[in-house]
Structure 1
Amino acid sequence: MRTAARRGWWAGPLPTVVLPLAVGAFSVVGTFGAARGQPVARPLDALGVALLLTGAAALVVRRRHPTEVLAVAATAAGLYLGLGYPYGPVFLASLVALCSAVLAGHRRGAYAVTATAFVALLVVHLIRFPDQPLPLFGAGGWLSSLAVVIALCEWWRARRERLAQEQLTREETERRRGSEERLRIARDLHDSLGHHVSLINVQAGVALHLMDDDPEQVRFALAAIKQSSGELLREMRSTLGVLRGVDEGPPRTPVAGLARLEDLLAENRAAGLPVELEVVGERRELPPSVDQAAYRIVQESLTNTRRHAGPARARVALHYTGDDLEVRVEDDGPGAPAPAEAPGGNGLPGMRERAAALGGTLDAGPRPTGGFRVHARLPAPASRLDPAREGTTS
């Protein structure tokens, strides 16, 4: 915490010079004024002024050597009083040095030097006035004043460290949010690009194959390519707008969610993948994060089916329970399952990351009867008790 404690106005470039000048001027002027009421004291001469200014001058390097500066200021004050010069604000430089050392985090050294200086001052007093008893009342006043100064310094140091820690916490939170947002955007781009590019590739293959034999089917394939590419461009513009930070208003295109599930299934059917949908339970409004995650999991699962399953049929099932939403995507294709990417990659790991980020789970693997299955369970507590649920199939 020493680095954090040095921040602020106390360690700025202006106080580095101005504060020692102010302390030196106040110490000299104040002591000259106090000397008028002390006729028995030694007259304040050049040596006395030099001793007063020594502690103030040492404050210039208090940031680099806080404990040493305190020792110099305390020694100069002790010599000053030991030579019989008049009392006054001679301890001001020492107090400033003490505060600087405590705020800089050098607490043990500062307290050791302060305790030594306090004992030394009592010894100096006994040497100067051997016939007088120890001034317990005056020593108690000095000690009380010193305790107040130390308490204020400790309070200020603790406050600055707390503020610095809070600032570090805020910065770490912002960095974590930024990382999570970048990861979310990367997953969305992967799912969207993979889905639409796969559709475009399939329809382009159909168009090339039937260009001479079935112009009507070619026209249908080109229309599907145009629609899919337009949707891809819209999603990319929306994502790039988020990256640039210019999308301050509500999104102008529909947000990916289960409300668009029928369009997604229609696109896959048009690309040659028969898909059935089964919904168990009463549909309800889901949290946006859960709604989008469920859509993206279905989208990526169907994309993997088209890429890897070969000739196949797919089935999407949504099961609404009281506390969860179960998403199951199955196919009966003979092809190999989607390869697992490296940790932190896309595809299956990306779907698992989506589920885990919401506190859910996702399992994927071959079916015992053939084909491949993706099963996700996402937490989605109902806002109210739902009526009796009935299964529906479309």
Structure 2
Amino acid sequence: MSTAEPTVGARVRRVALPAVLMVVTIAGSFGASRNAHDRRPADWIMVVLLVIGAGALYWLRSRPVAVMWVTVVSTLVYMLREYPYGPVIFSFVIAVFTVIRTGHRLAGWLGLVALYAGHVLGRLVLNINQQGVYQVLLVGTCFVVLGFLAELFRGHRERVAAANKTKREAELRRAGEERLRIAQELHDVVAHHISLINVQASTALHLVDRQPEQAAPALAAIKDASKEALVELRSIVGVLRQSDEAAPRQPVAGLDGLDQLISRTSMAGLEVHAIIRGEPRPLPTGLDRAAFRIIQESLTNVVRHAKAKEATVRIQYGEESLVVQVDDDGTALVGPPKDGNGIVGMRERATALGGTLTTTRTPTGSLRVTATLPF
């Protein structure tokens, strides 16, 4: 039932225009014939022409150009038969206006020229009482004005459509950027916590048989890391929820959580030192989150790949930017560092804020990550 109502409403609206126009043109033409003694009296042919012109508008949306040519012919025949002047032109005006407004510009202007030229030449061929030059020019001017008005509306419609398209593209672009941000958040959270769990699980397996009493701290660390991962994951996924149900939330990750991050990482066997220079101050949310995630991902890479015992996090609060640097004392390597998914994600975070991120080898061969994030 609900699906049939829009169809019925659309049909009613589609019928309303031609039906109303039939009544108006027929009544107006019969009214004009009472005082038009020099014109052909109203007859059944006049009614048929008016019905054809108005009735054709039923198909105006689906076949606008064809409907316009029907109104051109019916209106031209009406005028050449010298029926009384009246609202006969209404059907043609609506049709040609719609044709030009919907983008069929050439067809619309041809319709205007065809009706005007057909009327002028038809009167010459049929030897009908000729109009004065003033009247001919006046009619032509009215047709030109009609065409330009239709062009104005067409231009306005195209501008509105272009603005809506630009708006939709901007919304899609913002949605894509948001999906990328969430994907980065998920990657950083999962990689960090799973790395810590993996290291602690390896330690627990190594100690469970030989020194079971020392396996407890590793298992406790696994519990804490998995709990923290679940909380962060639920917080991030909560952004995607569309229902009114309250999603679990926690404060947005930022440098306020640096001590907790260092504590969790130290439990995985990596001793982390933090050195802060400059005057710490509140940071924009995006910059604060990016700095924290870069440090988190850098430490994750150290735990997973560097075989290091110590790492140093340096944070420099400058006048125009925040500089984050992470070093480790891992295995000496040669050659430029390779960009994995983690480094690519960190670089994208820095670039999104107008900053830079570089990865270099220290004199000892370990990896150094340096991010410059402008305020």
Verify same fold: TM over 0.5. Answer: yes
Write the letter of the residue equivalent to 1:350.
G
- Alignment-derived partner of residue 87 in structure 1: 85
Which residue of 323, 327, 331 maps to 2:328? 331
Q: What residue in structure 1 maps to residue 5 of structure 2? A: none
Q: Look up the match of 1:50.
A: 48
Give yes or no for contact 1:298–1:329 (8 Å, CA) kept in 2.
Answer: yes
Change (3 A) 1:205 1:226: same
**Displacement of 1:98 after TM fit?**
0.9
CA distance in 2, matches of 1:151, 1:130: 30
In the alignment, structure 1 residue 355 sits paired with structure 2 residue 350: yes
1:5 — aligned with what? none
* Cα distance change, pair 176–14 in 1 and its aligned pair in 2 (3 A): farther
Query: Alignment partner for residue 18 of structure 1, among 4, 16, 19?
Result: 16
Q: Return the letter of the residue paired with 1:340.
A: D
Q: Distance in 2 between matches of 1:146 and 1:298?
A: 72
Selected match of 1:306 from 280, 291, 303: 303
Identity across aligned pairs (percent)?
Answer: 43
Tell me the equivalent position of 1:9: none
Change (3 A) 1:251 1:325: farther
Q: Partner residue of 1:197? A: 194
CA positional deviation for 1:363: 1.2
Name the Cα RMSD after superposition: 2.4
Q: In structure 1, what is the equivalent of residue 7 of structure 2?
A: none
* Partner in structure 2 of residue 366 of structure 1: 361
Tell me the distance in 1 between the aligned counterparts of 2:363 and 2:290.
Answer: 27
- Structure 1 gap segments, 5+ residues each: 1-11, 381-394
What is the CA-CA distance between 1:351 and the residue it aligns to?
A: 0.8
Report the TM-score, using the length of structure 1 for normalisation: 0.85
Residue 271 (structure 1) aligns with:
268
Structure 2 unaligned residues grouped into runs of 5+: 1-9
Q: TM-score of the superposition, structure 2-length normalised?
A: 0.89
1:215-238 CA-partner distances (Å, limit 9, x unpaired): 443221122111111111101111
> C-alpha displacement at 1:137, in angstroms?
3.9
Shift in Å at residue 156 of structure 1? 2.9
Pick 1 or 2: higher relative contact order, CA cutoff 8 A, min separation 6. Answer: 1
* Mapped partners of 1:33, 1:144: distance in 2: 27
Q: Distance in 1 between matches of 2:161 and 2:177?
A: 24
Which residue of structure 1 lines up, in the alignment, with residue 282 of structure 2? 285
Partner deviation per Cα, 1:32-78 (whole Å, 9 max, x = no partner): 11001112322222222212222223223333432332222122211
Is the 8 Å Cα contact of residues 281 and 321 (structure 1) preserved in structure 2?
Answer: yes
Pick one of 222, 225, 229 that aligns with 1:225. Answer: 222
Matches of residues 149-228 of structure 1 in structure 2 within 5 Å?
149-228=146-225
Q: Secondary structure at the match of 2:316?
A: strand
Report if the CA contact (8 A) 1:361-1:377 is conserved: yes
Alpha-carbon shift at residue 129 of structure 1 (Å) = 6.6
Cα distance, 1:101 vs structure 2: 0.3
CA shift in 2, pair 1:258/1:247, >3 Å: farther
Would the aligned equivalents of 1:81 and 1:124 in 2 still touch at CA under 8 Å? no
3-state SS in 2 of match to 1:284: coil
| Greater helix proportion | 2
Please say if residues 21 and 56 of structure 1, whose CA atoms lie closer than 8 Å, have aligned partners that are also in contact.
yes
Q: Note if 1:72 corresponds to 2:33.
A: no
Q: Secondary structure at the match of 2:307?
A: coil
- Per-residue displacement from partner, 1:68-124 (whole Å, max 9, x unpaired)? 322221222111221222221111111011111012111122112202311322334
* 1:261 lines up with 2:254 in the alignment: no
Aligned mates of 2:162, 2:296 — CA distance in 1: 43
Q: Matches of 2:237 and 2:244 in 1, distance apart?
A: 9
**Cα deviation 1:255-282 (Å, max 9, x = unaligned):** 2110111111121112111222111211
* CA distance 1:250–1:279, shift in 2 (3 Å): farther
Shift of 1:311: 3.3
Structure 2 residue 55 is matched with structure 1 residue 60: no
Partner of residue 28, structure 2: 30
d(CA) in 2 for partners of 1:230 and 1:131? 97
Paired residue secondary structure (1:167): helix
Q: What is the identity, as a one-letter code, of the residue corresponding to 1:325? A: L
Q: Which amino acid aligns with 2:327?
A: E
Given the superposition, is the C-alpha separation of residues 373 and 87 from structure 1 closer, same or farther in structure 2, using an over 3 Å criterion? same
- What are the superposed Cα offsets for residues 338-384 of structure 1, whole Å, 9 maximum, x if unpaired? 7534xxxx31111111111111111113334310111111111xxxx
Cα distance change, pair 294–246 in 1 and its aligned pair in 2 (3 A): farther
Q: What letter is aligned with 1:105?
A: G
Equivalent-residue separation in structure 1 for 2:84 and 2:325 (angstroms): 91
Q: Is the 8 A contact 1:364 1:374 kept in 2?
A: yes
Give, in whole Å, the separation in 1 of the partners of 2:258 and 2:134. 86
